[in-house]
Chains A and B, each alone.
Chain A
Amino acid sequence: MTHLLDIRKLCIDFQSASGLFRAVDSIDMHCDSGEILAIVGESGSGKSVAMLAMMGLLPWNAKISAERMLFDGHDLLGLNKRERRRIIGKDIGMIFQEPMSSLNPCFTVGFQIGESLRLHLGLKGARKRERSIALLRQVGIPAPETRLSAFPHQLSGGMCQRVMIAMVLASNPKLLIADEPTTALDVTIQAQILELLLSLQREKDMALILITHDMGVVAETAERVQVQYAGQKVEEQNVRSLFSAPRHPYTAALLASLPERARTRGKLPSIVGVVPGQFDRPPACLFAPRCAQAKSVCNENVRQQGAAHGHALCNFPLEYTK
């Protein structure tokens, strides 16, 4: 069966003054209609960069290569800018971490939503306005008629994120990418926004890719989870088995460091060391220097496990006895 989104061996390098920096290291990824995929990982693990690359939003110094990058039957790699724009913003929508700065301060909410409606659906005048109001109502904004003429600085962060969601929904996308949509918001608002995203996803049978570093968010929302570390995908499982039986030591360590899951009183477990940088990349397994299970072979090569072991990129995936 063909996936809605199908990416194989995606690599992204940034040309910097000190040489090439590999931000994403041959990542495979797929997502189907109606599915919620969460991508988890700490800052710099290449979560957002991979998605921005697909959207064509990376700066010119990014070099993107992939064996395959298919969306809905289109090869995203072979498209020119104009063809890509017909898909981006229409069939793929993306919302970002900072809702307040993601909306243009010089234009009203109505203008910014209307722009999408006109570009992708060709709506004009009264019909555009009607649809904008309906969209704002759909994302739970009170008094949508008056909000149309509001500027972003007159809205709260949560409201801005709702407007962003409305703007993205304007074109009925098949895939919605939410890049840490709740990180910048208050805890109570976070829950509301997540709830909104989930209900919209169910209602419209969209695919939803949720980028986050918050395991709590993952547990509440996702169906399938992909864990990234230093630009590599280190594990992929459905959410339940990931939480009950993490296969990669990194995932296990991440879960163990959640305050809610801490088994002992006292100091919270943490992962020693830091993510490798541009110049100290380990030769084989990138996690080896920080891994408790690492053996000398881990510095020579690293093996990708099968589905039974959560596709873990690890020579010694964790085993569980039933």
Chain B
Amino acid sequence: MLKFILRRFALLVPTFLGITIVAFGFVRILPGDPVLLMAGERGLTPERYQRLLEEFGYNRPLWQQYIDYLGDLLRGDFGNSFVTKQPVLSEFFTLFPATVELSVCAMVIAIIVGIPAGIVAASKRGSFWDQSIMGTALVGYSMPIFWWGLLLIIVFSGWLGWTPISGRISLVYFFQAKTGFMLIDSLLSGQDGAFLSALRHLILPSLVLATIPLAVIARQTRSAMLEVLGEDYVRTARAKGLSTRRVVGLHALRNAMIPVITVIGLSVGTLLAGAILTETIFSWPGIGKWMVHSISRRDYQVVQGGLLLIAVIVMVVNLLVDMAYGLINPRIRHN
């Protein structure tokens, strides 16, 4: 198992290098001169333009710029935002907890609804339940996120008035962020109703963000369960006289979880991409919204750094998923 983890760790290095090349190249390919963009509408004298080019190192060959960029990265320097002049890294980590909070809630919803839905569909194959669950999943999967989000806002916030339209917490509450996670901070603040307000703000965006992963997880669970339920060892478990609940929920599910875990891992990438739209719709102050703003402001340092950081997170999550594999499937652990 240790060897397995070490090997997976070693594989991270080339993946990381690949991502740096993409992030670095992406910004260079974009049309427009970053120095001119920074200068804004007033323009620059040729001497000042030259000085700025040298200051940022943009006059040197690309490969040298790339090496410098790598060196900076290794020292933890992701560059500074052109707009705010703040380090990209610190901006990222100020906003990151909001995205994590949203994504974790969405994932929890997707898993605790998706897996049981898939199990029910598989064990009642072909029934009314199976067809309605799979039909709903297909609709959910095909729904454009921005449209689905707006629809929910109209119905639940507009017509019914059950949930707030946007933001993370009602403006009447104010407290210092301790963890960056609003649910935890609101609890720690001890203010009456703060937690409830945070929770109410979280519901709609989490639901919207959860929709696609939920649909994928439900469908994957169903097909994996259908396959596993026909296996010899499931018959053995039944022949032992175990209850259906134990046969399906333990003997079959444990085996069916292997492909489902893969899908959950892959969904994390989708989730972060979905967060960009969801956060924009709900004005959720996370990295998704930050990235969208930076793109529209041509803040290339932020786009480059943010891209890299998001990619690293997806990478780490996939590593964790691979490790979870080993825990669930002894055949992987021992090979």
* A residues whose Cβ falls under 8 Å from a Cβ of B: 55-57, 81, 85-90, 93-94, 96, 98, 101-107, 115-116, 119-120, 151, 153-154, 164, 167
Chain B contact surface mostly: helix
CB atoms of A104 and B233 under 8 A apart: yes
CB atoms of A167 and B233 under 8 A apart: no
Interface size in chain B (residues, C-beta < 8 A): 21
Q: CB < 8 Å: which of A89, A98, A107, A154 contacts B241? A: A89
Known: A96-B235, A102-B232, A104-B233. A119 touches B240 (CB 8 A): yes
Cβ-closest 9 pairs across A and B: A89-B241, A104-B233, A101-B232, A89-B240, A151-B330, A106-B254, A85-B241, A102-B232, A102-B236
The complex places the Cα of A106 from the Cα of B237 at a distance, in Å, of: 13
| B58 CB to nearest chain A CB (Å) | 56
Does B94 count as interface, using CB distance less than 8 angstroms? no
Instruction: List chain A residues, Cβ under 8 A from B231.
Output: 101
CB atoms of A81 and B235 under 8 A apart: no
Does B334 count as interface, using CB distance less than 8 angstroms? yes
Residues 214-258 of B, flagged 1 when their CB comes within 8 A of A and 0 if not, give: 000000000000000001110111111111100000010011000
* B residues whose Cβ falls under 8 Å from a Cβ of A: 231-233, 235-244, 251, 254-255, 328-331, 334
The complex places the Cα of A211 from the Cα of B106 at a distance, in Å, of: 52
11 more CB-based (< 8 A) A-B contacts, given A89-B241, A167-B240: A55-B239, A85-B242, A87-B241, A104-B237, A104-B251, A106-B254, A106-B328, A107-B251, A107-B254, A115-B240, A153-B334
Name the CB-closest residue of A to B237: A104
Q: CB < 8 Å: which of B232, B251, B254, B255 contacts A96? A: B232
Instruction: List chain A residues, Cβ under 8 A from B237.
Output: 104
CB atoms of B232 and A98 under 8 A apart: yes
CB atoms of A103 and B236 under 8 A apart: yes
Name the CB-closest residue of B to A106: B254
CB atoms of A102 and B255 under 8 A apart: no
CB atoms of A153 and B251 under 8 A apart: no
CB atoms of A120 and B241 under 8 A apart: yes
Q: CB < 8 Å: which of B233, B241, B334 contacts A119? A: B241
CB atoms of B235 and A153 under 8 A apart: no
Known: A106-B255, A153-B330. A101 touches B233 (CB 8 A): yes
Known: A96-B232, A151-B330, A153-B330. A89 touches B239 (CB 8 A): yes
The complex places the Cα of A57 from the Cα of B235 at a distance, in Å, of: 7
